[in-house]
Structure 1
Amino acid sequence: MSEIITGNNVDVLRTMKGGYVDLTVTSPPYEDLRKYNGFSLDFDGLVSELYRVTKEGGVVVWVVGDKTVKGSESGMSFRQALKFIDAGFRLHDTMIYEKDSLSFPDKTRYNQIFEYMFVFSKSRPKTINLIKDRPNKHANGRKHIKGNYRTADGQTKRHNKQNLLQPLGVRNNIWRISTGCNKSTTDKEAYKHPAIFPEKLANDHIITWSNEGDVVLDPFGGSGTTAKMAALNNRQYIHIDCSEDYNEIARGRLAKV
C-alpha cells in the first residue's frame, strides 16, 4: 500500500516491520541544512533503521554532495558512506550525478557540477535491470572483438568480447541529467520546494534496482519525486517528510499520476 507520511523519518521507520522495503531512493538535506523545518537529522538512527527495514538483497541509493567550508570540501559524503558500510551495507557502486548547469561559479577551483550517488545493498542486490542506452562504437556488424586482458599473475591472454557486438551497451556510472526549471520536472507546484529531485534520476534508479510491485521508500520525500516515479513505474511507494507543507505538494503531484 502506498503512503505519504508526515513525521520524523527515524520515528516512522521504527513503526515498520523489518525486511519490508525493496529500494530506497533519496537525497538528504546537506550539511547545515540538517535542521529542516525544526527537525534535526538523526543520521546514525536513520542508517540503522534503513538497514533493518530493507529486504535482503534490497538497495539504498543515497544522493549527496559536500559543502565547501573555508575553501575546502567537508568530505561529509564519504563519512556518510562509511557509516552505511559500518551498519552492514555493501557499497555496490559509487556513481556520479552530473548536472548540465552550475549554480555558483568558483574562482578558486573547477566548476562544481556533480554529486555522488552511493548505491548500497543489503547483501548482493536481488534486482539488477541495467539500462542499455550507450551506443556501441565497436558493433558495426563485426562478428567478434579480439583483445587482451591480464590475469592476476601478470600473464596476458586473448579474449573475444562478444558483448561488444550489441548496438547499445550498458550505460556508464556517470549520469548527466538536466536540472532546473521545467527540466527537473514540469510540475509547477514542485518548485515550491527548495531542492527538487530530478525525475529522470529517480526514474532510472527505480527501474534499475526494483521490479513492478516492489516497495520504494524515500525518507526525505520532499516534493514527492521518488513517490511519483515509483507510481508511474507500477511500484508501491512510502514517502516520509517532516513537513506537511511539502507533503501537500507531493499529494498534488501524485494526484495527477
Structure 2
Amino acid sequence: MARRSATALSAGSSSVQDYVKVIYSFTEWQERPITASQLASRLSVANSSVSEMVRKLMDLGLARHEPYSSVELTEDGLHLALAMVRRHRLLETFLVRELGYRWDEVHDEAELLEHTVSDTFIERLDQKLGYPSRDPHGDPIPTADGGITVPSALPLRELDDGHRGRITRISDANPELLRFLAAESIDLDAPVTVLERKPFGGPLVVKVGDTSDARTFDFGEELTTSLWIESDGVHAGCRLPEPSRR
C-alpha cells in the first residue's frame, strides 16, 4: 500500500517526516498551499535548507514543486504525513491523559518521541487510549488507514456579532497562550458567543460559558486567530484527504 511504502522509503529520516507533516498541517484547517518561504518560517530554517529538502522530497516521490509556486504532497507524501500526524497527536494525548503533562508542554515532547516509537507501539497506544478522535488541542487524529475527521470550524476572528458555537480547536503555536487559557478555565467544547467587535481595530468581545457561569472577555488578534469555533448543530464527516493533482 502507498502508506506503507512511503513510511518504509523514509524510515530513519526525521527531517523528511517533519517536512511532510508541516506541509500537511499547514493546509489541514484551511485549504491554502504552503510556499517554500512559509515552510522555512514554520521550521525556523534557512530558505536554502528548505530548497535542498524539497528537492529531496521530490526525488523520493513525496512532493511536487515548481519554481515560485507552492509545495504540494504526492499521494505517498500525504500518507506519510498522516502517519506522522497520527503518531504526534496520539503521543500528545497519552502525555496529557496518562502522564499528567499540561497541554502547553506536550508538543516538543511528542516531536521527539514520534520518530522513535514503532508502529506496533502506536497501534497499542491508540487501543489503550480508547481510539480518541482528537488530541488535547482539538486537532483530529487520523485513523490507522488514513481517514480523518476535520470539524467544520472557523477562526473566532471570522465570526459575526451574535454568532454562537463551541471551541473545537485551540492552536498550540504559543505555549503562553495555552497557559493563559488554562488559568481562565477556557477549554475545548466551551460555549462561545460573539458579542461585539470594538471599533478601530479593537478587541473582540466574547462571552465564554453557559448562562449560569458565563464570563466576558476582550480577545485580541492572537486569541481570535488561535480559537476555532464550530457552530452549534454543524458537524463534519470523515474524509480521506486527496493530494492535489496537475
Smaller-chain TM-score range?
under 0.3
Name the structure with the higher helix share.
2
Structure showing greater relative contact order (alpha-carbon pairs closer than 8 Å, 6 or more residues apart): 1
Q: Which has the higher strand share?
A: 1
User: What TM-score, normalized by structure 1, do the two folds share?
Assistant: 0.23
**Structure with the greater alpha carbon radius of gyration:** 1
Q: When the two structures are superposed, what TM-score results if normalisation uses the length of structure 2? A: 0.24
